[in-house]
Amino acid sequence: MDVFFYEAFEEESAALRHHLQSHIKAGYSWKTIQECGHEHPPAPIISTRTQSVVPKAWATTLRAILSRSTGYEHMLAYRQHAHTDLACGHLPRYCHRAVAEQTLLLWMALLRKLVQQRDNFARFHRDGLTGVEAEGKNLVVVGVGNIGTEVCRLGTGLGMHVIGVDVVHKNPDIKYQPLDQALPRADIIVVSMNLTPHNKGYFSYDVLRQVKRGAIFVNVSRGEFSPPSVLLRLLQEGHLGGVALDVYDHEPELAHALRSGEPGREPEVEAALALQSWTNVILTPHNAFNTQEAVERKAAHSAQQLHHFVSEGRFLWPIPDE
């Protein structure tokens, strides 16, 4: 076997089989590495998403790791932890539109109280269902890269006042402000920034207390930015008007707790599980990337990466050295 794909759900596996050339032999599992229980690498090249924990000892026997994700901070952390310069690749541009559209879906669902509307259908009552229109509201996008730029475009199309927060002001059509100026104005905050070793826990309690009461917080980037315990506290205090998450702090542990039915042992996992009961919270299973178009691009780009590595000994899109 040449490559083994972990965390490959049914549609993705089918797309990967379609795009891989016949001379590359591949294995597939929807499970993470830790859920598979593999003691040794099943192939010289493995491909994961973000929930698998690659054993440190595998660094000496693997030829390469391909992360089927836009982010790559987990690969940088693995190389540092394993003291290796193992070849690692990622997929930088397969899902920016898909994630941006899911972000729009999430904030609109919260503005229009979609969860409550669905629940009230059984009684056909409209009490307490009055929502809010997006036009004219302040949309603060923290992290204006490929995904953030698409989010800004969608917000502008809805007639929203879009504010970008980023250290790099690469888009002349976007109005940029520092975070401490933008947050107090925000009606909706979208997190689409890159995770680094220096910005974990970026949206702390003190930072998010700067937003006005009733603001909506949406994180589609990395769960490490926004500890669920902080979000839960701000909801309990009535400060945040709604929360939508597609990514989670301690996500591998959370996924295992939900799949197995076992209680979460990490406080942040327990807090994330507690958020499920709130009607002004929407939680999705790290699925914002998952459209037919993005899955097709993801499989095609993964195949390009692997074909290039097999023929050239390096990835077409390696993770940056940091």
- Residue 7 class from Cβ within 10 Å (0-12 exposed, 13-18 middle, 19+ buried)? buried
* Alpha-carbon gap, residue 250 to 74, rounded angstroms: 12
Q: Do the beta carbons of residue 227 and residue 208 sit within 8 Å? A: no
Mean pLDDT of the chain: 95
pTM over 0.85: yes
pLDDT at 197 (0 to 100): 82
In the chain the domains, ranked by start, together with CATH numbers, are: 3-94+292-312 (3.40.50.720), 96-283 (3.40.50.720)
At which residue do the structure tokens 């879906």 appear? 105
Q: Which pLDDT value is given to residue 262? A: 84
Count of CB atoms situated within 10 Å of the CB of 105: 16
Q: What pLDDT, on a 0 to 100 scale, did the predictor assign at position 263?
A: 78
- Residue written as token pair 């009733």: 214
Alpha helices in the chain (DSSP H): 10-19, 33-36, 73-82, 96-111, 114-120, 146-157, 179-182, 205-208, 228-236, 251-260, 267-275, 292-312
> What are the E-state strand segments in 143-227?
161-165, 175-176, 188-191, 215-219
Residue 211 pLDDT: 96
Closest CA to 224 of 77, 106, 107, 81: 77
Contact assessment for residue 138 and residue 186, using Cβ atoms and an 8 Å cutoff: yes
Query: How far is residue 176's CA from residue 279's CA, in Å, rounded to a whole number?
Result: 32
pLDDT, tens digit (0-9, with 9 covering 90-100), for 222-249: 999 999 999 999 999 999 999 999 999 9
Residue recorded with tokens 């007639």: 159
Tens of pLDDT, residues 263-277: 778 999 999 999 999
Residues in the chain with pLDDT < 50?
A: none
In terms of Cβ atoms closer than 10 Å to its own Cβ (0-12, 13-18, 19+), residue 18 is exposed
Q: Which of 138, 171, 143 is nearest to 156 (CA)?
A: 138
